[in-house]
Amino acid sequence: MASIFPFRAIRAPRDKVGLVASRSYIHYSKSDLKARLIGNPYTFLHVLNPSHKEGNTPNRSRKAAFSRIKEKLHSFIDDGHLQKEEVPALYIYRQDKKGFSYCGLICGIAVDDYLSGTIKIHEQTITRKENIFKQYLEVTRFNAEPVLLTHKPIKVLSRLIDKYNKRFPEFDFRTTDTVRHQLWVVKNEKDINDIVKAYQKLDSVYLADGHHRSASSSLLARSHRKKNIGGIGKEMFMAINVPEDQLRILAFDRLVKDLNGLSPTQFLEKLSHQFTIEKVDSNGFRPLEYHRFGIYMEGQWYRAILKDEYHKFASPVEELDVQILSKLILDPILGINDLKNDRRIDFIGGHEDVKMLEQKVNKGSYKIAFSLFPVSTTQLKEIADAKQIMPPKSTWIEPKLRSGLTIMDLNDELL
């Protein structure tokens, strides 16, 4: 049973929302971040980076830095850049990006669903990051970006979305990357009750993106329960639920800085033991089916096709192309067995043009690039159901939401 809840979102007024909402903090270069902070007094980046005018503050503790973020959020509210919903609501969010449309439900979801396994995961989290995010939540007391959940289509949700999509949205704006964002506020009690009951019939939902954020929320809840802090059993985090037929999973391509002492000819010879190698006359190549790999080096694309005798897989994870690449190429041939820490390998999300791989290899920064066919939603679910973990950087999943679009006040759970 999935337990979702309406909540009183903190969000920008209609005339400022396009200026307030920002991409995730980590997606900005230092120069771009500085320019946006200087040029836009309303951007939510000011909340996430409240000390940018003060220069480096090496002696500031992490807790003090998080306290400054909390203070800046409240100053945004006091200044009218953000305002809090008067009554709890659900939020229908639609994103149109480069010919693709995504529509889902922003809500609170119970931490207990994560702890019980109703929310199924496919990615391993790093304890150090969990603890940092836990402290962040404990100090700031807000979620600024929802985790992305997916599930089988729900008729009640589809009808609710169709109903509200015919109405004038609370906001409708485009960002400089040409993405359109729309939001409808669902305050009607019957509509809320109907959708809450529909989610209660789901046996499971799947965590598509936001593993560290959800893990840190559960870590904080367990800490509060040990200390008998109020709100026990009501802890939640902010999520957007997107039906699996609207989820878009893209590949994560690989770039490697050297051939581990091999010449290109020697590399291809080793590769040919388990793969059929074909030259590809293409300006940018991405495989169109499983167990095919694009390989680019020295100005030439190759198609590597896994030979039939190697189509024997012991588990859903073993069948993933990212795992095949690691097990048969990266580790034994190129000597890369630690994707998290080896500095010889880098990753590019499949939302980027595959020609970027060519450009990076042609510039000499890397010796070889691999383009992959993406993981399917079915594979993601099979792995989560089997309680297995995908290799690092297996999926680039859309939609990606902007920070500060809707904000959850975690203190509300204590009331």
Using the Cα atoms of residue 163, residue 174, residue 210 and residue 395 in order, give the sign of their dihedral. Answer: positive
Q: How many CB atoms lie within 10 A of CB 165?
A: 13
Residue 211, domain extent: 4-248+398-414
The answer to whether residues 202 and 285 belong to one domain is no
The answer to whether residues 235 and 271 belong to one domain is no
Assigned domain for 386 exists: no
Q: Are 185 and 248 in contact (CB under 8 A)?
A: no
Structurally, the chain folds into a number of domains equal to: 2
The answer to whether residues 242 and 256 belong to one domain is no
The answer to whether residues 104 and 227 belong to one domain is yes
pLDDT of 151: 96
Assigned domain for 271 exists: yes
Cα–Cα distance for residue pair 21/213, rounded to 1 Å:
19
Exposure letters 127-152 (e unless 16+ CB within 10 A, then b): eeebeebbbbbbbbbbbbbbbbbbbe
The answer to whether residues 120 and 218 belong to one domain is yes
With vertex at residue 328, the alpha carbon angle to CA 325 and CA 330, rounded to the nearest 5 degrees, is 60
Q: Which helix (H) or strand (E) is 250 found in, with range? A: strand 248-250
Cα–Cα distance for residue pair 52/136, rounded to 1 Å:
18
Cα–Cα distance for residue pair 241/385, rounded to 1 Å:
18
Assigned domain for 187 exists: yes
* Residues facing 408 on adjacent strands: 143
The answer to whether residues 262 and 226 belong to one domain is no
The answer to whether residues 21 and 136 belong to one domain is yes
The answer to whether residues 136 and 184 belong to one domain is yes
Q: Are 306 and 324 in contact (CB under 8 A)?
A: yes
CATH number of the domain to which 304 belongs = 3.30.1760
Assigned domain for 381 exists: no
CATH number of the domain to which 185 belongs = 3.90.1530.10
**pLDDT range class, residue 415, cuts 50, 70, 90:** very low
The answer to whether residues 77 and 218 belong to one domain is yes
Assigned domain for 81 exists: yes
Q: Are 290 and 343 in contact (CB under 8 A)?
A: no
Assigned domain for 82 exists: yes
Residue range 336-377, pLDDT digits in tens: 999 888 999 999 998 899 999 999 999 999 999 999 999 999
Identify whether 399 is preceded by a cis peptide bond (ω within 30 of 0).
Answer: yes
Q: Are 20 and 36 in contact (CB under 8 A)?
A: no
Q: Which helix (H) or strand (E) is 271 found in, with range? A: helix 264-271
Question: Burial, 162: exposed, middle or buried (Cβ in 10 Å; 0-12, 13-18, 19+)?
Answer: exposed
Assigned domain for 387 exists: no
Assigned domain for 80 exists: yes
The answer to whether residues 346 and 361 belong to one domain is yes
Kindly state the average pLDDT of the residues 398-411.
94
Residue range 162-221, pLDDT digits in tens: 999 999 999 999 998 899 999 999 999 999 999 999 999 999 999 999 999 999 999 999
Q: Are 114 and 372 in contact (CB under 8 A)?
A: no
pTM attached to this predicted model: 0.92
Q: How far is the first Cα of the chain from the last one, in angstroms, to the nearest whole number?
A: 24
The answer to whether residues 178 and 306 belong to one domain is no
The answer to whether residues 320 and 409 belong to one domain is no
